Structure 1
Amino acid sequence: MKISTITFYRSRNYGAVLQAYALQQALISCGYETAIVDYCRVLNDKKSLKQKIRQMALIALEVVHYKSRLRFKNRFETFLNENVKLTNRYDDYDALVKSPPQSDMYLIGSDQVWNITYRYRPEFFADFAPKNVKVASYAASIGRYDYNQVQLEKFEKGLEKVYPISVRENSAKDFIKEKFNKESLVHLDPVFLLDKEQWSKVADEPQKEEKYILCYALTGSSLMKKAAEKLRKETGYKIVSISPTAVNFINGDYNVFDAGPKQFLSYIKNAEVVLTNSFHGTAFSIIFEKEFYNFTSDFYSSRTTNILQQLDLIDRIAKSLKDVSLEKLDYKNVSIKKRKLIEESYAYLKSLEESI
């Protein structure tokens, strides 16, 4: 059976690329032939003055860190070229509609494919799919839920052909039931479908010989900064700060602007402690069984809170400095709960063939 997946994969974002890779590997292990639909949408969105100023500032920082950022981009391209199978490339949506990749099923997910805050993306609802081809989703995330009526109508229309529906968060399941009266299942983000040993084979060699605290921040967090300084004082460990952009939100002893997916995995795997406000930073901390704390803002908390609740790790969300300590995590109970969720996720993927 041939499954074409529809997801984020070309953005230079660690979580996006690694979840796309993980889902592909999981599908292969289930016996499916699979590739990611290689559609690259041309961006022509109008930007506000504030957005233009921010973009100019980012470009200036990219120039400052030019050599590092070039290595960063090349490492992402190399990872995709060497590890991810894609369909033929589509440079415009009309071409995708006229001649979509031949498949028995289009599988949407994972990551925030159903976040339509700024626009409705027809490809992420497989609107291009021929009527005789099945469309399903796996661990699709919505991201936020404050949509207006026009957005909700587009969302509902997009879901018409999707069955079965699998989402990543319980909040997404509740949203779909409340707004559209549709049932859905909750499954793990694809990165959890590969175990610690499998990810260790993907990870690069250790990047630092000395012990360190890893900070991976997608946005600024004064609490994370204070927590890192507190732990450095208590342990003597250096602070390594990884940034997915040219903006460094946490100023560490070592500031890393050039880590590709493999180096990102290595930094987490070999850290003594991980401090992050990223969903996938948290996910890989759990996979590698690290001491970690999450500093996600309330606005984005549902993505991370869901998995932490499922694994009884909700106390790893730091609300104040007193929440951060060197207390060791016992991963025995976490592993038992995680194994059950992984089995449920794989059972769903294996059942897709029966739904054709």
Structure 2
Amino acid sequence: MNRLKFGILMKKVGILNFQYSTHNYGAVLQAAALENICRQLGHEAQHLDYMAKPKANLRSFIGKLLRKLGIRKAPQANQVANEEAFERFRQNFIKRTQRIKSAKEFPTAAKGFDSVIVGSDQVWRPAFAKDMLAFFLGYVPKGVDRIAYAASFGTAAWEQADDTVLTEAVRQELQQFRAISCREESGVQICRDVFGVGAEHVLDPLLLVDEPFFEKVVAPSSIQPAAKLVYYKLDSSPEFQEDLKVVGKEIDSDAVNIYLKDSSVREYREVPDWVALIRNSEVVVTDSFHCICLALRFGKEVIFCPNEKRGQTRLDSLFNMLNVSAEPLTVELKTPMFKLVRRGDIAGTLESLRSHSMKFLVDALND
């Protein structure tokens, strides 16, 4: 399937991650960024459109039965409108295979590629991945190179260490990879200490991709005017909202919610608008990994809200990689907030890290 284009050996590359999200801006953006990078390297790139379903167990079966009998209430549906915003972004920036409806269909879909890349994002975190065998590329047939780019376990330790059967299965799958890289240093250690394989530490695709990518992303945005203070809080609370007013008063600006539109209904923003609001702001308040990545990349002042539930390890790794420290705000608040302080030249650091990360990807995709 290798072919020459302008003298470059081009491969057909499949990508597997959480691009199918209907609520996560970072998930769709990093997927589009990685696909864009692969294309810039001269390859034909396409996402494997596989959304793993959680395996049925006795507990879920009983719950479903109780809801059917009316004994237990059905879980409330997502009350946020405009999930279509994420699909509109995919249609413009992500090329996908036909929907892979089951694990049985996966090998046939993957057979058409020279290489399959898993990553980035928390694709190796069991609570998120659902079908772990799929995200360790266990359904990819022989003859197709397996690559991990900036894959994340999401935590400092392998969460399924007590499951010896799964751990051994993952170890065997990782042995089949051509090249492995992780988004966090802790992931490199897990690969080495738990699974006995080597891995490199690389940048998230949103920090690796070039600036023209973002120019294309924000081009459709109609956000006017720019907001000085914006916030993207995955887990908000009344106390946080009170603290936000305190922060806004300090810099003489109201805070604009970039998670949802300012309207009478709870409604997701368009993805280009979300990026544009970060890019055009001065101060960003957030507990989101990818929002922090973009804010730092765009040179914004960042106020970080720790969120252990979402995973602190990946942020600690990012701060260490970019030589950034978190210092408590000096105003009195009810919730913890920290100002991110740059200890060096982030632009220069990123340039060096991009060279290393790009070399990993180039070498992994070359014969």
Match of 1:149 among 144, 163, 182: 163
Residue in 1 that maps onto 2:15:
5
Matches within 5 A, 1:122-137: 122-137=133-148
1-structure distance, mates of 2:346, 2:18 = 28
2:190 corresponds to 1:175: yes
Q: What is the distance in 1 between the residues matched to 2:83 and 2:91? A: 12
Q: Does 2:350 correspond to 1:338?
A: yes
8 Å contact kept, 2:324–2:343: no
CA distance in 2, matches of 1:227, 1:202: 32
Structure 1 Cα separation of the partners of residues 74 and 178 of structure 2 = 39
Paired amino acid for 1:103: F
Letter in 2 for 1:349: L
Q: Is the 8 A contact 1:7 1:113 kept in 2?
A: yes
Deviation at 1:5, TM superposition (A): 1.0
Conserved 8 A contact 1:276-1:282? yes
Assess, with a 3 A threshold, how the Cα gap between structure 1 residues 228 and 165 changes in structure 2: closer, same or farther.
Answer: same
Using the TM superposition, give the Cα deviation of residue 157 of structure 1 relative to its aligned residue in structure 2, in angstroms.
Answer: 2.9
Where do 4+ consecutive residues of structure 1 move more than 4 Å? 42-45, 52-55, 221-224, 252-256, 316-325, 327-332
Residue 99 to residue 280, structure 1, CA distance change in 2 (3 Å): closer
Aligned partner letter, 1:292: V
Q: Is it true that 1:84 corresponds to 2:99 in the alignment?
A: no
Q: Which of 246, 271, 293 is the equivalent residue of 1:230?
A: 246
Query: CA offsets per residue over residues 295-319 of structure 1, 9 Å max, x none?
Result: 1324511111111111111226779
1:243 aligns with 2:262: no
Q: Which runs of 5+ in 1 are unaligned?
A: 63-68
TM-score scaled by length of structure 1: 0.83
- With over 3 angstroms needed to count, the CA separation of the structure-2 counterparts of 1:348 and 1:210, relative to structure 1, is closer
Deviation of the 1:201 alpha carbon: 3.0
CA distance in 1, matches of 2:302, 2:210: 18
Task: Give the structure 1 partner of residue 8 of structure 2.
Answer: none
Q: What secondary structure sits across from 1:35 in the alignment?
A: strand
Moved more, 252-261 or 204-213: 252-261
On the 8 A contact 2:133/2:170 being kept in 1, the answer is: no
- The more displaced of 272-281 and 328-337 is 328-337
Residue 95 of structure 1 aligns to a residue whose secondary structure is helix
Confirm whether residue 115 of structure 1 aligns to residue 129 of structure 2.
no
2:32 to 21, 27, 31: 21
Instruction: State how far apart, in whole Å, the 1-side matches of 2:145 and 2:17 are.
Output: 16
State the Cα deviation string for residues 7-56 of structure 1 (Å, max 9, x = none).
1101121111000000001111111111111123345652897xx99973
Within 2, Cα distance between the matches of 1:328 and 1:253?
Answer: 31
Q: Aligned pair 1:216/2:232, yes or no?
A: yes
Q: As a proportion of its length, which structure holds more helix?
A: 1
CA contact (8 A) 1:277 1:294 kept: yes
| TM-score normalised to structure 2 length | 0.81
- Please give the residue correspondences for 1:1-356 in structure 2 after superposition, counting only pairs within 5 Å: 1-12=11-22, 13-42=24-53, 45=56, 46=60, 56-59=75-78, 61-62=79-80, 69=81, 72-117=82-127, 119-144=130-155, 145=157, 146-147=159-160, 148-150=162-164, 151-203=166-218, 204-205=220-221, 207-209=223-225, 211-220=227-236, 224-243=240-259, 257-298=267-308, 300-315=311-326, 333-354=345-366, 356=367
Tell me the secondary structure at the aligned position of residue 39 of structure 1: coil
Contact 2:178 2:364 in 1 (8 A): no
Measured in 2, the distance between the counterparts of 1:173 and 1:328 equals 25
Aligned AA (2:48) = V
What is the rounded CA distance, in whole Å, between the counterparts of 2:226 and 2:206 in structure 1? 27
Tell me the number of residue pairs that the alignment of Structure 1 and Structure 2 aligns. Answer: 337
State the Cα deviation string for residues 254-282 of structure 1 (Å, max 9, x = none): 99732121111011112221011110010
CA contact (8 A) 1:318 1:324 kept: yes
Task: Specify the SS of the correspondent of 1:315.
Answer: strand
Root-mean-square deviation (CA, aligned residues, Å) is 3.1
Alpha-carbon distance between aligned partners in 1 of 2:248 and 2:306, rounded to the nearest angstrom = 21
Percent of aligned positions with the same letter in both sequences? 23
What is the deviation of 1:196?
4.1
The 3 A distance-change label for structure 1 pair 126 and 211 is closer
Alpha-carbon contact 1:224-1:275 (below 8 Å) kept: no
| Range with bigger deviation, 127-136 or 313-322 | 313-322
Q: Which runs of 5+ in 2 are unaligned?
A: 1-10
Cα contact 2:38–2:45 (8 A) shared by 1: yes
